[in-house]
Each structure stands twice: as C-alpha cells, then as structure tokens.
Amino acid sequence: MAYTIEWSAAGVLVTMTGEVDIKELNEANGKLHGDERFDEMRSQVWDLLRASFTTITKREIEQPTAIDRVAARINTKVRVALVTTTPHDVELCEHYAERSAALGSTWEIRVFPDVAGARAWALA
C-alpha cells in the first residue's frame, strides 16, 4: 500500500493505492491529525479509486470513526469526501459516515464516485 497527502490552502487530498489494511488507514489518518495545519483544515478528499479496503471490516472501521469524532471536537467544520466505486468500499465508507453521525460528529461526510465531484462538494 502507498499513500500521498497533499496539503493546500483549500484542505487536503489523500490518495491511497493498493490493498489497505486498518493499520495503514489509521496511519494516514494520524498524519492528518498530527499536522500543524489540521486545526485550520476545512476539507478532506480521500481518493480511494486505486485502493482496496477488502481486508477492513465494519468493526475495524469503528477505530478511525472514534478517532475522528475526537478530532471533530478540535476542528468542528470539516467536509470529508470519500471517493470510491467498489461496492465493498462504498459500503464501508457509508458505514463510517453513518457511525460518525450517530456518534455526534460535526463533520459532513459523503461518498463520491469521482474526484471532481468530491472536490466541488468539499470546497463548497
């Protein structure tokens, strides 16, 4: 697995490729939270089109959900756009969004089939 994190004034673009396990997902997420720019960030776009989350379960996705809920207390106004089209990955991302809302996160989270649509929404 490989990922890149690109920061800009508008927010952050995370691009993941290959088979991703929960440890690697948490690592990338932790780099965002640990960055000095996190407090001012307003958007995250996760390009997962060339990645696969087939080894991650709904139970495991509870970890980043809970971690992001705590992060949402520090930075309350973030839009998270998750870009994927693989049925398993879409389902997992939708579960993450539903659980985040159920936990009371202030972050807006949506799943998109393309990066252009995700960026347009995240930056609106």
Considering the chain, what is the average pLDDT of its residues?
95
Residue 82: pLDDT band by 50, 70, 90 thresholds? very high
Give, for 118, the enclosing helix (H) or strand (E): helix 115-123
Is residue 123 within 8 Å of 10, Cβ to Cβ? yes
- Mean of pLDDT values over 68-86: 95
Backbone angles phi, psi at 22, to 5 degrees: -65, -35
This prediction's pTM: 0.95
The CATH topology of domain 2-123 is Transcription Regulator spoIIAA (3.30.750)
The values of phi and psi at residue 36, to 5°, are: -60, -20
Task: Sort strands 2-8 and 11-19 into parallel, antiparallel or unpaired.
Answer: antiparallel
- The predicted pLDDT at position 10 comes to 80
Q: What is the pLDDT of residues 22-32, one digit of tens each?
A: 999 999 999 99
